[in-house]
């Protein structure tokens, strides 16, 4: 599926969304964010889409005609109105292009998140067992989020500029290098990373241009964002500095283990897995900062319970606000849900979940709870029945590379 936009698609007036149900129920700001992440797909006459494969998308016809049929039930062919999504009534049907067509896809999970943001206070925490006090605290934090008063620095400008440049239609290595060179710390980290064992080729790299050439645009963007997010843990000046330092050490270890697992056990991008690990607990920062401002004491056990229950949903809000992709938002929301199940192939959330379990294993003699065979992520990666000592050996073998990554990121 191609997400590349033609000139016509780039200049498409967003007003067409006014007629699309249910996305027309969103605020204009939310629609703009949804449209920014939309994907266009051109279909030739006779091309088909199966509803069972499209459950994660809201799909609308922009050009041409789409007909829905169900051969198993002898359903009469039905023309799909352009103002309604395909497969709205039945995922068991097949949609066929009657002529050359253009469709637009909106991510369902992003739509749901934006819908909840529009609803404001009272955000859906029904599936979380929260006390009245915890619900009140969450609503206070959400109100700060809505009013842009949340105690969390914005994503540093350097990361935004690098991302915007690399995702532009045409960009040169020289242009991206000039952006990175405005940040001395990031410049040093990019060159060091390119010269590390993870990427080292034959000759050492001495310039940002050469570093980008070796790393590639994708790794450059992800490493720049990882560097920027990592700085947030240390740049939040407050009396909770010690807690933030512990949180960063934990996030860094999970990130490095995720990197190694993605690199050696999966076909996923290890640099993206590294970023996933860094951001998985980002929702903890505003919770700690907010609790610090309260005029009544909360003991450590209560703080831990509040953090454990609310960090996922708040982390998802933050990453959505930063414009991060949905798979990273899902990491923040669900990576620490051991029994999380999805019918998709192994994803970055699964990798971070496994990294968490492995982190527990390194700190105790017995197998952590829950057992691997009870964790769907382990079944996806094929490690559910691996001997415990074999997993320990894998982690031991990873230690040198993890330590090198730590030096590069710290």
Answer yes or no: are the C-beta atoms of 266 and 120 closer than 8 Å.
no
Q: Assess whether 303 and 363 both reside in one domain.
A: yes
Determine the Cα–Cα distance for residues 247 and 234; give it in Å rounded to an integer: 10
Q: Assess whether 95 and 164 both reside in one domain.
A: no
Task: Encode pLDDT of 383-398 as tens digits.
Answer: 888 888 888 888 888 8
Answer yes or no: are the C-beta atoms of 19 and 60 closer than 8 Å.
no
Q: Assess whether 244 and 287 both reside in one domain.
A: yes
Answer yes or no: are the C-beta atoms of 254 and 352 closer than 8 Å.
yes
> What local confidence, expressed as pLDDT, does residue 133 receive?
66
Task: Encode pLDDT of 227-273 as tens digits.
Answer: 888 877 765 555 677 888 888 889 989 999 999 999 888 889 888 99
Question: Count of CB atoms within 10 A of residue 11's CB?
Answer: 8
Contacts 24+ apart (CB under 8 A), 82-89: 82/19, 83/19, 83/20, 83/21, 84/20, 84/21, 84/60, 85/20, 85/21, 85/58, 85/59, 85/60, 86/49, 86/51, 86/54, 86/59, 86/60, 86/61, 87/51, 87/54, 87/55, 87/59
Q: Is residue 177 part of a domain?
A: yes
Q: If phi over 0 gives left and psi between -120 and 50 gives alpha, with beta otherwise, what is residue 69?
A: beta
Final residue before a domain boundary, out of 114, 144, 178 = 114
Determine the Cα–Cα distance for residues 368 and 366; give it in Å rounded to an integer: 6
Q: Is residue 200 part of a domain?
A: yes
Q: Assess whether 302 and 374 both reside in one domain.
A: yes
Q: Assess whether 293 and 368 both reside in one domain.
A: yes
Q: Assess whether 204 and 224 both reside in one domain.
A: yes
Q: Assess whether 192 and 333 both reside in one domain.
A: yes
Final residue before a domain boundary, out of 87, 114, 141 = 114
Q: Assess whether 152 and 285 both reside in one domain.
A: yes
CATH number at residue 357: 1.10.3210.10
**List of residues 6+ apart from 7 with CB closer than 8 A:** none
Q: Assess whether 21 and 64 both reside in one domain.
A: yes
Q: Which domain holds residue 145?
A: 120-409
**List of residues 6+ apart from 337 with CB closer than 8 A:** 312, 353
Q: Is residue 38 part of a domain?
A: yes
Q: Assess whether 154 and 206 both reside in one domain.
A: yes
Determine the Cα–Cα distance for residues 162 and 223; give it in Å rounded to an integer: 10
**List of residues 6+ apart from 6 with CB closer than 8 A:** 40
Answer yes or no: are the C-beta atoms of 362 and 395 closer than 8 Å.
yes
Q: Assess whether 31 and 104 both reside in one domain.
A: yes
> What local confidence, expressed as pLDDT, does residue 178 receive?
92
Final residue before a domain boundary, out of 114, 149, 179 = 114
How high is the mean pLDDT in each 10-residue block of the chain (410 residues)?
51 84 89 86 91 87 90 73 86 89 88 74 48 69 65 71 83 90 87 79 83 89 86 66 85 91 90 91 86 71 80 84 83 87 84 93 80 88 86 85 73
Evaluated on CA atoms 403, 407, 409, 410, the torsion sign reads: positive
Q: Is residue 1 part of a domain?
A: no
CATH number at residue 22: 2.60.120.10
The three-class DSSP label of residue 41 is strand
Q: How many domains does the chain have?
A: 2
Q: Assess whether 294 and 202 both reside in one domain.
A: yes
């Amino acid at each position: 599926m191609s997400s590349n936009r033609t000139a016509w698609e780039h200049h498409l007036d967003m007003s067409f969304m006014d007629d699309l149900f249910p996305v027309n129920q969103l605020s204009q700001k939310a629609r703009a964010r949804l449209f920014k992440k939309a994907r266009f797909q051109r279909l030739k006459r006779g091309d088909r889409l199966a509803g069972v494969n499209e459950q994660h998308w809201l799909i609308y016809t922009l050009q041409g005609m789409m007909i829905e049929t169900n051969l198993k039930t002898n359903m009469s062919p039905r023309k799909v109105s352009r103002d309604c999504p395909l497969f709205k009534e039945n995922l068991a049907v097949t949609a066929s292009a009657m002529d050359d067509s253009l469709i637009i896809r909106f991510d369902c999970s992003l739509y749901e998140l934006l819908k909840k943001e529009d609803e404001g206070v009272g955000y859906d925490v029904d599936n979380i067992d929260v006390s009245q006090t915890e619900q009140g605290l969450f609503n206070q934090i959400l109100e700060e989020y809505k009013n842009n008063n949340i105690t969390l620095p914005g994503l540093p400008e350097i990361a935004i500029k690098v991302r915007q440049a690399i995702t532009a239609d045409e960009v040169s290595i020289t242009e991206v290098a000039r952006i990175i060179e405005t940040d001395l710390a990031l410049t040093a980290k990019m060159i060091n990373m390119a010269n590390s064992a993870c990427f080292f080729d034959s000759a050492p790299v001495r310039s940002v241009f050469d570093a980008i050439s070796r790393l590639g645009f994708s790794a450059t963007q992800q490493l720049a964002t990882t560097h920027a997010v990592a700085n947030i843990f240390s740049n939040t000046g407050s009396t909770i500095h010690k807690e933030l330092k512990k949180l960063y050490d934990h996030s860094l270890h999970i990130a490095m283990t995720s990197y190694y697992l993605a690199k050696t056990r999966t076909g996923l991008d290890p640099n993206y897995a590294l970023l996933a690990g860094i951001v998985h607990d980002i929702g903890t920062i505003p919770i700690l900062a907010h609790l610090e401002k309260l005029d009544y004491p909360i003991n450590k056990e209560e703080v831990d319970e509040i953090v454990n229950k609310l960090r996922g949903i708040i982390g998802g809000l933050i990453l959505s606000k930063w414009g991060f992709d949905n798979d990273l938002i899902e990491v923040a929301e669900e990576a620490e849900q051991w029994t999380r199940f999805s019918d998709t192939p192994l994803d970055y959330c699964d990798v971070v979940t496994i990294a968490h379990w492995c982190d527990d294993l390194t700190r105790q003699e017995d197998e952590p709870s829950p057992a691997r065979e009870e964790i769907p992520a382990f079944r996806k990666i094929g490690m559910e029945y691996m001997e415990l000592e074999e997993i320990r050996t894998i982690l031991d073998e990873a230690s040198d590379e993890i330590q090198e990554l730590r030096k590069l990121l710290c």
